[in-house]
Amino acid sequence: MSRGLNRERQVRVELENDDYVVIRAAGSFGPADLLGLRVDRRPRAVEVKSTIGPYDHFGPADRADMLAWCERAGASAWLAWWPKGGRLRWIPSSEWPRARVAA
């Protein structure tokens, strides 16, 4: 099993331990890997990365697509970054780098 898939499963367990119902939405199902649902909270769309840097392979276009998808779905967008040898870090979309605007 790849490290990425293993991390995705670990993040799923973290969400389930916080009483979320979790749906795997990776691949062609949408721009997020997991969708967490909980009756008393806004749905949470989660992109899971186990890369060296949190935004490696999660560039501006991917982030914009995920934010647009979340806006349409009424969900909050999160990055669950869990690097090799490191600890899980939850990064809300409010902390993501913004795309540069061409002058």
Q: What angle do CA 91, 93, 94 make, to 5 degrees?
A: 100
Mean pLDDT across 76-91:
94
What is the pLDDT averaged over residues 81-97?
Answer: 94
pLDDT tens digits for range 34-82: 999 999 999 999 999 999 999 999 999 999 999 999 999 999 999 999 9
Instruction: Set out the domains of the chain in order of their start, with CATH numbers.
Output: 3-94 (3.40.1350.10)
Residues 11-33: tens digit of each pLDDT: 999 999 999 999 998 665 678 99
What pLDDT does residue 98 have?
A: 83
pTM score of the predicted model: 0.89
Q: Indicate whether 90 pLDDT > 90.
A: yes
Q: Which residues contact 31 (CB under 8 A, 6 or more apart)?
A: 45, 47, 62, 65, 66, 69
